[in-house]
């Protein structure tokens, strides 16, 4: 019974705290640029605004367009209860690291379908770019999984919390996961969240047709995805063993990751689309090094 | 600690395979030398040797400060674009890098007793740096990038000497540093001349006759 309570608590945490991280990132970014910037609660205001707005749906769209926001949102919530935050293994043996990747892929697949569904030119462009990037992201992400598997003998996410000392291998894995996170959450070297310029946008082009409540759901699920990936990085670099002040450690690590993402966003220029292949190829090679380190046991 | 620094050297060597522009290449060479400096200082601290301290200081002054500065200056003076021509594109270069690292690993695993894992990894990284320098020299068109390839090879040899014997004799070390420095100056001069004669430093086009 306590387990159910903790799972519900975890869901509520992810639902409520995920937009805060985005607000925090933009605040840190603006502080680095010597600007005052928007409030860190701005994502919440945006969500409230979008929820209270009327929705416009293209007449040519099919049921896929209407159903996609819910699929994306629920897949992200499913992913959110798979990772251990409050208790050791929330969904014991039901979900592991690989299933997390495929749950992400499910959401992305429906997003691409919905972007193609309305037949607008931007949607198709965004979908094709997103698929290009995700096909490059997935090998690196899978190597992270293999690395975890080689180190701990299981791909269950709960296994690698609380058992291992910090090693070079886990450090490299965390860097690979960081690069993957930048690509997955459409952060700057790969994609730019802030612009609506048709040359640069990937994720924004896909959701261009959405408005009102559906857009709010999609935005919210992308915040949750970002938070899940941050928690995974924190888990791999600093495994918590669920005793004492582990919540505090989580907090510290998430703050560090937020600052790292903000610094990368400020100081790195956005790449051309075809340079993204080099960026993610580098992540892949780092992943191979991590696997070799896992085999060597360093 | 040393392992993390060595890992840094490895990643920076990989970074050189990804680099497409000259400033990135120079910067990663500078970082690599800085990591070598750290390795040498740690080694000197462990063994309490004055020689190694001096070698580390020389490494810092020459390879971290002077040579990158010279390369930057040559690049600015010639006003060529920072583009280093690639014979082999980035993805293929990365694959080659993986293959070279594997070869280096096999080679050093044969060389050393398999029990000493740390020794194998430091030897692997050193060999890999040598091979990477070689690869940079034969697969990049710009003459400046080829100079950097040579320097990377030299870095790898230095690391190798550190790994095998805990540093070469002091005078040999100083002589090598001086050699490298002078060779960079001379090569810089040559590149400058090539640029003046041919208005570019693309080695691929050197076979064309110019009157």
Q: What is the mean pLDDT of residues B185-195?
A: 83
Closest to A217 (Cα-Cα) out of A226, A207, A227:
A207
H or E stretch at A29: helix A2-32
C-beta separation of A48 from A282 below 8 A: no
State which of A84-98, B147-161, B169-183, B188-202 shows the largest mean pLDDT: B147-161
pLDDT in tens, A130-168: 999 999 999 999 999 888 888 877 777 766 655 556 778
As a whole number of angstroms, the distance between CA B32 and CA A259 comes to 25
Whether residue B121 and residue A296 make contact (CB cut-off 8 A), yes or no, is yes
As a whole number of angstroms, the distance between CA A175 and CA A180 comes to 9
Surface-to-core class of residue A126, CB atoms within 10 Å of its CB (0-12 exposed, 13-18 middle, 19+ buried): buried
- More confident: A153 or B5: B5
- More confident: A69 or A294: A69
β-bridge mates for residue B83, sequence order:
B21
> Residue B188 has what pLDDT?
84
Please say if the pLDDT value at position A200 is more than 90: no
In this prediction the ipTM stands at 0.75
pTM: 0.85
DSSP string spanning A47-104? HHHHHTSPP---TT--HHHHHHHHHHHHHHHHHHTTS-SSSS-TTTTT--HHHHHHHH
> Residue A89 has what pLDDT?
67
Please say if the pLDDT value at position B150 is more than 60: yes
> Residue A205 has what pLDDT?
85
- The span from the first CA to the last CA of chain B, in angstroms, equals 57
| Residue B186 sits at the chain A interface (C-beta within 8 Å) | no
Q: What is the mean pLDDT of residues A278-288?
A: 91
Whether residue B4 and residue A289 make contact (CB cut-off 8 A), yes or no, is no
> Residue B210 has what pLDDT?
64
State how far residue B4 is from chain A, nearest Cα, in angstroms. Answer: 7
C-beta separation of A21 from A227 below 8 A: yes
> Residue B182 has what pLDDT?
86
Arithmetic mean of pLDDT over chain B: 85
**Residues of chain A found within 8 Å of residue B11, distances taken between Cβ atoms:** 286, 289
Arithmetic mean of pLDDT over chain A: 87
Please say if the pLDDT value at position A93 is more than 70: no
Q: What is the mean pLDDT of residues B181-209?
A: 80
| Residue B15 sits at the chain A interface (C-beta within 8 Å) | yes
Please say if the pLDDT value at position A263 is more than 80: yes
| Residue A278 sits at the chain B interface (C-beta within 8 Å) | yes
- CA A149 to chain CA centroid, Å, is 21
Q: Which of the residues A281, A286, A288 would you substitute to probe the B interface, choosing the one with the greatest number of B C-beta atoms within 10 Å?
A: A281
Please say if the pLDDT value at position B109 is more than 80: yes
C-beta separation of A258 from A233 below 8 A: no
> Residue B87 has what pLDDT?
84
**Residues of chain B found within 8 Å of residue A282, distances taken between Cβ atoms:** 14-15, 18, 94
Angle, vertex CA A213, rays to CA A208 and CA A218, nearest 5: 55
pLDDT in tens, A5-33: 888 988 999 999 999 999 999 999 999 99
Among A147-151, B33-37, B90-94, B205-209, which stretch is predicted with the lowest mean pLDDT? B205-209
> Residue B158 has what pLDDT?
87
Closest to A265 (Cα-Cα) out of A173, A178, A177:
A178
As a whole number of angstroms, the distance between CA A87 and CA A77 comes to 17
pLDDT in tens, B29-62: 999 999 999 988 888 888 888 888 888 898 899 9
Q: Could you tell me the pLDDT band of residue A244, with boundaries at 50, 70 and 90?
A: low
List the single residue in A282, A292, A298 with the smallest CB-CB distance to B18: A282
């Amino acid at each position: 019974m306590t387990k159910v309570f903790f799972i519900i608590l975890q869901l509520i945490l992810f639902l409520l705290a995920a937009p805060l991280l985005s607000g925090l990132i933009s605040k840190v970014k603006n502080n680095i640029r010597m600007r005052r910037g928007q409030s860190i609660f701005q994502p919440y205001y945006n969500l409230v605004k979008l929820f209270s707005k009327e929705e416009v749906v293209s007449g040519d769209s099919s049921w896929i367009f209407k159903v996609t926001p819910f699929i994306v949102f629920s897949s992200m919530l499913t992913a959110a209860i798979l990772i251990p935050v409050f208790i050791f293994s929330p969904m014991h043996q039901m979900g592991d690291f690989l299933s997390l990747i495929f749950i992400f892929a499910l959401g992305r697949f429906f997003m691409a379908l919905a972007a193609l569904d309305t037949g607008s030119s931007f949607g198709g462009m965004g979908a094709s770019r997103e698929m290009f990037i995700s096909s490059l992201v997935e090998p690196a992400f899978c190597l992270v999984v293999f690395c975890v598997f080689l180190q701990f003998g299981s791909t269950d996410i709960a296994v690698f919390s609380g058992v291992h000392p910090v090693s070079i291998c886990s450090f490299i894995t965390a860097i690979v996961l960081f690069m993957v996170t930048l690509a997955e959450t459409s952060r700057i070297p790969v994609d730019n969240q802030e612009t609506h310029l048709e040359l640069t946008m990937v994720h924004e082009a896909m959701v261009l047709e959405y408005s009102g409540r559906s857009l709010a759901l999609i935005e919210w699920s992308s915040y949750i995805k970002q938070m899940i990936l941050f928690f995974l990085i924190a888990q791999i670099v600093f495994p918590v063993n669920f005793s004492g002040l582990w919540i505090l450690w989580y907090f510290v690590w998430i703050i560090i990751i937020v600052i790292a993402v903000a610094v990368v966003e400020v100081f790195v220029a956005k790449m051309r689309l075809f340079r993204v292949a080099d960026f993610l190829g580098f992540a892949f090679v780092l992943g191979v090094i991590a696997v070799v380190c896992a085999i060597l046991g360093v | 600690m040393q392992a993390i620094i060595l890992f840094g050297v490895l990643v920076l060597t990989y970074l050189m395979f990804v680099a497409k522009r000259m400033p990135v290449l120079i910067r990663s060479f500078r970082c690599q030398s800085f990591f070598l400096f750290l390795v040498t200082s740690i080694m000197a601290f462990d063994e309490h040797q004055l020689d190694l301290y001096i070698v580390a200081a020389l490494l810092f002054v020459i390879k971290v400060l002077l040579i990158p500065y010279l390369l930057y200056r040559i690049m600015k003076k010639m006003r060529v674009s920072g583009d280093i021509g690639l014979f082999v594109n980035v993805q293929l270069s990365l694959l080659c890098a993986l293959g070279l690292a594997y070869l280096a690993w096999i080679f050093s695993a044969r060389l050393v007793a398999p029990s000493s894992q740390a020794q194998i990894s430091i030897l692997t990284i050193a060999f890999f740096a040598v091979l990477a320098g070689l690869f940079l020299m034969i697969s990049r068109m710009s003459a400046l990038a080829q100079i950097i390839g040579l320097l990377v090879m030299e870095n790898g040899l230095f690391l190798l000497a550190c790994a095998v014997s805990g540093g070469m004799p002091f005078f040999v070390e100083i002589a090598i540093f001086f050699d490298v420095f002078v060779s960079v100056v001379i090569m810089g001069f040559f590149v400058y001349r090539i640029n003046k004669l041919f208005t570019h430093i693309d080695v691929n086009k050197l076979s064309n006759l110019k009157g």
